[in-house]
Amino acid sequence: MKSLLLDRTTWDLVVDRKGNLAICTEPYSVLQDVSCAIRVFLGECYYDTAKGIPYKTQVLGIQQSAAIFQRLAEAVAKTVPLVKDASCIVSNVGADRRLSGVMQVVLTTGEILDVQF
């Protein structure tokens, strides 16, 4: 599976040495796709408004939202092709209200990968 490579800092498209859009392949492409899926607000995708996490109604501004986020993020990650299972571990909710942790993804090949947030 291939995907357009995104810059890890700006989350914008990247070009290769020849000036073409850069492409990433498995297993990195799967982790990037999981990260993208988790960033989508429910209703944001114009081609499928059923995709995404209901941040506005179930996560943002609600107490205990870290636990809710974990459950929702795992469910969304499992919808990404080649993902067999996913486990979200929230490690910290900082004073700046920034959430951090790790998403552990099990691919259909049995490979286990982590992506931090």
pLDDT, tens digit, 9 for 90 and up, residues 11-44:
999 999 999 999 999 999 999 999 999 999 999 9
State the number of CA atoms in the 13 A half-sphere of 101 facing the CB. 18
Neighbour tally for 87: CB within 10 Å: 15
Question: What is the domain extent for residue 49?
Answer: 2-116
In percent, the amount of the chain with pLDDT more than 70 equals: 99
Query: 15 — phi, psi (to 5°)?
Result: -105, 150
Q: Specify whether the CB–CB gap between 108 and 102 falls below 8 A.
A: no
Instruction: Grade residue 100 by pLDDT with cuts at 50, 70 and 90.
Output: confident
Q: Domain holding 46: CATH number? A: 3.10.450.40
Q: Which two tokens stand for residue 49?
A: 């408004």
Alpha helices, DSSP H only, in the chain? 28-39, 65-77
* pLDDT tens string 37-68: 999 999 999 999 999 999 999 988 877 778 89
Taking each helix axis as running N to C, give the angle between helix 28-39 and helix 65-77, from 0 to 180 degrees, rounded to the nearest 10. 130
> What confidence score (pLDDT) does residue 59 get?
87
For the chain, the domain total comes to 1
Q: Residue 106 half-sphere exposure, CB side, CA atoms within 13 Å?
A: 6
